[in-house]
Chain A
Amino acid sequence: QKEVEQNSGPLSVPEGAIASLNCTYSDRGSQSFFWYRQYSGKSPELIMFIYSNGDKEDGRFTAQLNKASQYVSLLIRDSQPSDSATYLCAAPRRDSWGKLQFGAGTQVVVTP
């Protein structure tokens, strides 16, 4: 079992709708998570860092962390074609916060 798992997609979302992405993790001790966006041929871009149970909002993005159920999700409201990208979930290792364990990423396609 991979430490961080994501559905690879593609997740097709109509423009203006909410995209919902999920990430599950196996290490119950994981305390925090990152969400990155990666456009094709580009490097990952940091969207959000979350470490507390509950929701964290930043613009059109909302991250949700549920440590009891071991999942973290990302909602993209009012999806735009420019949101079409691969979204990566990552967890820092407890022994070294500079070492991230990445999921495989979910490809999101926003259709006009």
Chain B
Amino acid sequence: KAGVTQTPRYLIKTRGQQVTLSCSPISGHRSVSWYQQTPGQGLQFLFEYFSETQRNKGNFPGRFSGRQFSNSRSEMNVSTLELGDSALYLCASSLSPREQYFGPGTRLTVT
């Protein structure tokens, strides 16, 4: 079974731009969660989608948004990028509360 895939793997953007990241969960998994990982803050929860509905949201500004499609693929968008948004963005998919499998991540650098 294929794992979680994320595209693109690396991205360089300029302050003020916006970016869209994509995540394809493991086949059959309907829950997709997004996390931001930085050296200073560690892994922080962004949001979770289940069957196209946002089930939970972390403490991030409104510039961070996401959505999930009917095939469970998910996208997250960050508008008006700031230098502090440079991070590894990870998505995780799960079928049950006993698992969360992470994708390889998207490394975003904001200059």
Across the interface, name the chain B residue whose C-beta is closest to A46. Answer: B101
Interface size class of B (residues with CB under 8 A): 20 to 34
A93–B97 Cα distance when bound, in Å, is 10
A28 on the interface (CB 8 Å rule)? no
How many residue pairs, one in A and one in B, have C-beta atoms under 8 Å apart?
60
Across the interface, name the chain A residue whose C-beta is closest to B41. Answer: A104
Residues of B within 8 A of A (CB): 31-33, 35, 42-45, 48, 50, 55-56, 58, 88, 90, 92, 94, 97-105
Lowest 9 CB-CB distances: which A-B pairs, in order?
A97-B97, A98-B48, A102-B43, A96-B56, A43-B102, A98-B31, A99-B56, A98-B33, A43-B105
Q: List 28 A-B contacts (CB under 8 A).
A: A34-B100, A36-B102, A42-B104, A43-B102, A43-B103, A44-B43, A44-B102, A45-B102, A46-B101, A46-B102, A49-B98, A49-B99, A51-B98, A90-B43, A92-B97, A96-B48, A98-B31, A98-B32, A98-B33, A98-B48, A98-B55, A98-B56, A99-B58, A100-B35, A100-B92, A102-B35, A103-B42, A104-B42
Residues of A within 8 A of B (CB): 32, 34, 36, 42-46, 49, 51, 88, 90, 92-93, 95-105
